[in-house]
Copies of this chain bind each other. A is one copy, B any other.
Amino acid sequence: MAKRSESANRPAGTKKAKKSVGMEEAKEVPIKGKDVDTMAKLQRLAAAVSEVAKKRRDPYLDVPSRSLSNSQFNKKKRLIEMGAKTNRRELFNLNQARSYMQTILVGSGCSRLIRQGKSTSIRGMYYMLKKTIEGTKENTFNEQAESDAVIEDLEVITGAMREELHLYAEPRGALAGPVVFIDGENELDAGRMGAAGYPIPSIVEPDRVRIKRCDAKFILHVEKGTVWQRFNEDKFWQKHKCIVSHGAGQPSRGVRRMLHRLHNEFNLPVFCLLDNDPWGYYIYSVIKQGSINLAFESMRMAIPDAKFLGLRSIDYERCQLKEDVTIKLDDKDKKRAKQIASYPWFADKKPWQGEIKQMLANDFKLEVEALISRDISYVTEKYVPERLRDNDWLD
């Protein structure tokens, strides 16, 4: 592991440094732990490129295809997997030279982050790498969408997750319950975090966040922070010895990864409490089977055993709700519901077919908040406890 530690304040010109144009001189840190693996993966990529070049052959990269057609549902593992299809990206090909160059740039950017012991956002990476190429009017990247796509390419090429490449997103989601985390030098007890709970960081890989102790018996994952606050205020997690988490809507990668770790490292069943609408079904589908866009991440994020606790299409009758709290389905909802019903992992499950059919027959959706019309704490004191008591959920 190379280590350089020169001061950023050294007067210019007193040493010869390999520095990128316009960049300040940056201190490097020893590479440790998981970073050693990630760096090795990046270096393998770099070595492959340079070896080919040294042999005076045309450099190329084989990039696993992230298209829908290259993802499939693995029935045995019960998750969405990426297939074996790859696309060749060549330097000496007018159509591919640009994306070839971009891939190498992102690789070197991530390597720089690791060497400096720093992380940045995917937007930060875009700014880090955006340059006008000398002597041309060509930009390395014209918009962030380009670098975002190349980051995903790099994940599948190297097999290192974005989080391992030191790239974070806006943190989102929180949890509360009897679980203690070690984050750097800090010990964080998610049972003593107050009104907003333990905020789930964007990167929760084991080298950054260690789970020191967990006394929970299960995880209840709810869709929204406002619903989560009801559970937290009612100390649901204390009464039921569980973890209650939320993802502020569609859960981020950090949230999914955290659920995955708690589920696997501590054998905790995961129950989802989501809206009774296509969006709620979809969130469940992503938590359970992985997302099609990120099929290559399923192994490390999907929870095939996750259960869908509700809200169910039968809840309108079961919970004696009034018409006032229903929301009519629109055409988009109906189309989306039918799409979801045809997902391979729902297609052969009768209860799920019945669930979605019933929603379409109801012709309305129900938000979890609709239960407030029964009582402010109906959801925490009746709805969820009764479902859990009766083992009443969809799988």
Contacts and interface: CB of A to CB of B under 8 A. Distances in A.
A331 interface: no
B183 A374 contact: no
Nearest to A322: B22
Nearest to A141: B324
Contacts of A60: none
Contacts of A369: 121, 123-124, 126-127
A201 B208 contact: no
Contacts of A203: 195
Contact of A194 (B23, B120, B186, B382): B186
Nearest to A25: B375
A171 B173 CA distance: 10
A193 B188 CA distance: 7
A181 B196 CA distance: 12
Interface in A362-395: 367, 369-370, 372-378, 381-382
Contact of A195 (B184, B248, B322, B376): B184
A128 B376 contact: yes
B194 A372 contact: no
Contacts of A353: none
B127 A170 contact: no
A26 B196 CA distance: 25
B209 A201 contact: no
Contacts of A372: 120, 124, 127-128
Interface in A242-274: 248
Interface in A104-146: 112-113, 116, 118-121, 123-124, 126-128, 130-132, 139
A96 interface: no
A61 interface: no
Nearest to A130: B324
A124 B226 contact: yes
Given A186-B194, A188-B193, A120 B174 contact: no
Nearest to A321: B22
A43 interface: no
A317 interface: no
Q: Is the interface of A mostly helix, strand, loop or mixed?
A: mixed
Size class of A's contact patch? 35 or more
Contacts of A169: 226
B370 A127 contact: yes
Given A130-B324, A132-B324, A370-B127, A121 B229 contact: yes
Contacts of A119: 229, 233
A10 to B, nearest CB: 14
A363 to B, nearest CB: 18
A36 to B, nearest CB: 20
A170 B224 contact: yes
A225 interface: yes
A375 B131 contact: no
22 contacts: A8-B381, A22-B373, A112-B376, A118-B377, A120-B226, A120-B230, A120-B372, A121-B229, A123-B367, A127-B367, A127-B372, A128-B372, A131-B373, A132-B324, A168-B226, A168-B229, A170-B224, A170-B226, A171-B225, A181-B194, A183-B194, A185-B192
